[in-house]
Amino acid sequence: MMPRNREFWQVEGLREEHIPQIAAMERACFTDPWSESALGDELNSPLARYFVCTQEGQVLGYIGTRVVLDECQVANVAVSPACRREGVASFLMEAMLDFCRREGMNLVTLEVRVSNSAAQALYEKFGFQKTGIRPGYYQSPPEDALLMSLDPA
C-alpha cells in the first residue's frame, strides 16, 4: 500500500468500483462481514449514504449510514487494518457529520460492541453520548451493543 497523506485523501460516495475493496475490508475487520452482493444492493438503496475515504483509488476506510427523514443511523464503520491510527475514521466522521448538518439531521445514532473501547472513544470525541444497551445485538461472537447518539447541529 502507498504511503498515506491526509492532504491527498478524498471522501466520495459509494461507487461500484469501491465494492471489492470494501468487501475485503469487511472480511478483515468483522466476524460477520457484508458480502459484495449486499454492498452492491446499497448502491440502489434510497436510504443508504456511504462515505468512502480514498487516496489515488485505494479505499482507506468507509462509513455506511441509513437516512430516514431527519435521522441518520450509522450501520458500519471500517478502516483498512493497514491504515489504522492514522486519522481515517476521524476524517470520515467529520465528513459524515458535515453531511448531517447540511441536510438538517436532528439525530445520529449507532450501535457499538460494549467491548470496543477504541470505537467508543472515537464516537465520544465527536460528542456521541451513551444512551442504552441493546442486549444480544451481536451474534458472532455474542455480545451486547452500546447505543450512542448525537444531535449534530
As annotated, the active-site residues are: 111, 123
Best CA proximity match to 146, nearest among 124, 120, 108, 127: 120
CA angle centred on 125, ends 120 and 126, rounded to 5°: 100
> d(Cα 46, Cα 135) in Å, to the nearest integer?
29
Sign of CA dihedral 87, 44, 75, 16: negative
* Closest C-alpha to 31, from 131, 120, 138: 138
3-state SS class at 147: strand
Give me the sheet containing 129-139, strands edge to edge.
Answer: 10-12, 48-55, 58-68, 71-79, 107-113, 142-150, 129-139
